[in-house]
Amino acid sequence: MLKLYNTLSHQTEEFKPINPPHVGIYSCGPTVYDYQHIGHIRRYVGDDILIRVLKFNKFDIKHVMNITDVGHLTSDADTGEDKMEKGAKKFGKSVWDLAKMFENQFKDSCRELNVELPKDLMHATDYIKEQIELIKILEEKKFTYKTKDGIYFDTSKFKDYFKLSGQNPKELKAGARVEVVEGKRNVSDFALWKFSPQNEKRQMEWESPWGVGFPGWHIECSAMSMKALGENFDIHTGGIDHINIHHTNEIAQSEAATGKSFVNYWVHHNFLTVDGQKMSKSLGNTYTVGDVIKKGFDPLALRYLYLQTHYRQEMNFTWEALEAAQTALNRLRKEVASFDEPKIGCAEYEKEFLEAVNDDLNMPKALSVVWEVLASSYPKTAKAETLFKFDEILGLNLKDSRQILESQKKEIPKEVKKLLEEREVLRKAKKYEEADKIRNKIIEMGFKVEDR
């Protein structure tokens, strides 16, 4: 029996899908305006574990994730600059090229960490029509009003607006930030559609029944999740910072539009910190998966490190901790590399492992079972069977342990180094075809070439 902590009910519950064995799950994806750092990636590894655990329990998963490539303002209060337009200026690119570049960086980081993403990610800009349709329904049902700068959702008309966050509206009013938008009726009201500023040409804007503009950022997740998974679906995930505003608003606008309950289980991941502070671009304390690899770490050591902390606990990142995770992972690989062909597994440990992962994804406990298996008196054949089964969830490529350890030992031969240099010269001269030929030669010699 799988148990999950549900933010909506504020307790750990037995997971019961709407239509077993099918499970619909929606993850709020990245806003692709800058690099995704290892704080962001912790969340996606968390989602990956959740999905693998669901699959392990024989559920049939439909996983949907969006890419926010539009309309996400720097402030939660519907003010400030558009993150995408700001990023475009910073990197000297069009917003469209910016989105492509950082979507690729996101996907690469996930691939390095064995995070299985849905094949087709849903881009907010591809579903503007659906977002407009949803706003039209909310308008017909009289949940909206118009201000000078957009169409807003009137949260006072939606019963139970605070059910997800458990916030007290009175306290919210007292602590409200000053940057209130002119014409907003309640502090918690939020934009569904924003008008383009009259004196400024935005790179991204669309026609709508209310005038040229762009969607508020919450509406995309309601429109896309319901399009892909139906008006009521099983699981929705995100970071804990999404609870008070983004997910609260998703619930309000979705349930106001359909009159149905939107999502049954809300799963929220805690933050990654550095020296006790949130890892974030504004604090300048971020590292990417690329940085981790450049420092000579196996990206899966980072995955191992993530698994050592429960997803609802804050996790503090240090390079020392990553070193220790790398050492542990290598030790694990060394053990596994000495295994024989798998046969019957170690039943009691398999049971213990399943209990741990089914107990609200208790991965630190699950990892400790891994080491118990290794220390046990079972024959290596049985250990192999059991650990390879565990690895369906751990995602540490344990079956490849031998090759991975070998490749760590392998020196890059002089010929290969020379070819790499030649290729670099060709690439700089933009002679990509010739450069690719050299790349293929290097691959034939048993090496992987990756440009970061």
* Residue among 221 and 289 whose Cβ is closer to Zn ion: 221
Q: Beta 60-67 vs 122-123: how paired, if at all?
A: parallel
Residue closest to ligand AMP (Cβ):
239
Binding to Zn ion (CB under 5 A): which residues in 192-221? 221
The nearer residue to ligand AMP, 38 or 325, going by C-beta atoms, is: 38
Q: How far is the CB of 389 from ligand AMP (least distance, A)?
A: 29
- Site map 31..70 versus ligand AMP, x via CB under 6 A: x-------xx-xx---------------------------
Q: Could you say whether residue 65 binds Zn ion (CB under 5 A)?
A: no
**Which parts of 22-41 interact with Zn ion (CB under 5 A)?**
28
- Phi then psi for residue 178, to 5 deg, are -75, -25
The Cα–Cα gap between 260 and 243 comes to 20
Please tell me the distance from the alpha carbon of residue 160 to that of residue 163, in angstroms, as a whole number.
5
Which has the closest alpha carbon to 30: 20, 40, 38?
40
Q: Which of ligand AMP, Zn ion, none does 345 bind, CB closer than 5 to 8 A by kind?
A: none
Shortest distance, position 126 Cβ to ligand AMP, whole Å: 20
User: Where does this chain touch ligand AMP (CB under 6 A) — which range of 85-93, 122-130, 195-203, 271-279?
Assistant: 271-279
Do the beta carbons of residue 213 and residue 205 sit within 8 Å? yes
To the nearest whole angstrom, how small is the minimum distance from the Cβ of residue 83 to Zn ion? 14
Write out the binding residues for ligand AMP, residues 107-136 only, by CB under 6 A. Answer: none
- Which residues, 223 to 262, sit near ligand AMP by CB under 6 A? 238-239, 241-242
Number of H helices, E strands in the chain: 16, 14
Shortest gap between Cβ of 250 and Zn ion (angstroms)? 6
| Interaxial angle between packed helices 217-229 and 128-140, expressed in degrees from 0 to 180 and rounded to the nearest 10 | 100
**Distance (Å, whole) CA 205 – CA 105:** 25
Q: Starting from the edge strand earliest in sequence, which strands make up the sheet with 315-317, in order? A: 277-278, 272-274, 315-317
Peptide bond preceding 118 in cis form (omega within 30 of 0) = no
**Interaction site with ligand AMP (CB under 6 A):** 31, 39-40, 42-43, 238-239, 241-242, 271-272, 278-280
